[in-house]
Amino acid sequence: LMQLSVPLNFIGFVYREIRQGLTDIEQMFDLLEVEAEVVDRPGAAALSIDKGAIAFKDVHFHYDPDRPILKGVSFEVPAGKTVAVVGPSGAGKSTISRLLYRFYDVQEGSITIDGQDVRDVTQKSLRAVIGMVPQDTVLFNDTIAYNIRYGRPAASDAEIEQATEVAQIARFIKELPEGYNTKVGERGLKLSGGEKQRVAIARTVLKAPPILILDEATSALDTTTEHEIQSALDVVSKNRTTLVIAHRLSTVVNADEIIVLKGGEIAERGSHAVLLEQNGLYASMWNRQREATQAEERLRQVRESD
């Protein structure tokens, strides 16, 4: 029997690996709308993670040679700290997260994690230590539980529930008629952007990676949802090296450092307080956003009183 069960198990294993591999790749491409650009170097070693310190050194990058996107960007995310990247639309913020996850390689300069160039390590080992909460999470056509367990296949039901508590989505799930067994995705229950992002956060909580990339949803969220997501993220990013790609400024106030990207270069950097005091680009973005939020709130109050 042993002789038979080994190859059978092996076939099952290979089948699962292939199937999982395909869904991974499909999802990854859907998520970021990119094609496979990078391959492991022959004999690439696994990333050996110590504390998870990230360094971008003089990074130059373009998708199209005629249009440079990053023109010599250098910054560090010390182990356990949070750095936020902000800047006008199209400045290259999300590109920074794609380069760290190595969907593309830099053309000049380097990106290292604990001193190891991301180009020298296997992609598998790199992605194993990074939890990515993308702008728009594509969910599998399967149950909510499956979608969250994907972060760590061996997780128990209790751990999944715990992760959803942290991600502030537990109550929502429990109120669904089929709870955690509700089918979601294209062919199931359609979740809102904020709900999908919280499912992605729960998945990441379960994975518990040393490094976190949060690429905020660009779409406007209502204030309550935004607060819920923010407090979930605060818990998840605590003591983890975190890179926040921020499209809204409310989420970056507590970052250890804020990098203001403009025209492919770092225009300003510092804490929220320091940047406000400088009264430059960040301060004007902040004031503009605050006015917009206040106008929205007033509009909502008017609508509600009608």
Residues interacting with ligand ATP, by CB under 6 A?
A: 34, 63-64, 69, 87, 89-95, 218, 247
Helix (H, G, I), strand (E, B) or coil at 82: strand
Name which of 33 and 304 has its Cβ closer to ligand ATP: 33
CB of 94 to ligand ATP, least distance (A): 3
Smaller CB distance to ligand ATP: residue 87 or 194?
A: 87
Looking at the Cβ atoms of 133 and 166, the one nearer to ligand ATP is: 133
Contact of 123 with 169, CB cutoff 8 Å: no
3-state SS, one letter per residue, for 244-285: EECCCHHHCCCCCEEEEEECCEEEEEECHHHHHHHCCHHHHH
Rounded-to-integer distance, Cα 78 and Cα 82, Å: 8
CB of 35 to ligand ATP, least distance (A): 8
Nearer to ligand ATP, 144 or 260 (CB): 260
Residues 229 and 223: their CA atoms lie apart, in Å, by 10
Question: Which residue, 216 or 228, has its beta carbon nearer to ligand ATP?
Answer: 216
Amino acid making up residue 48: S
Minimum CB separation from ligand ATP for residue 91, in Å? 4
Q: How far is the CB of 247 from ligand ATP (least distance, A)?
A: 5
The C-alpha atoms of residue 247 and residue 58 are separated, in whole angstroms, by 23
Dist CA 188 CA 264 (whole Å) = 40
Least gap, CB of 80 to ligand ATP (angstroms): 25
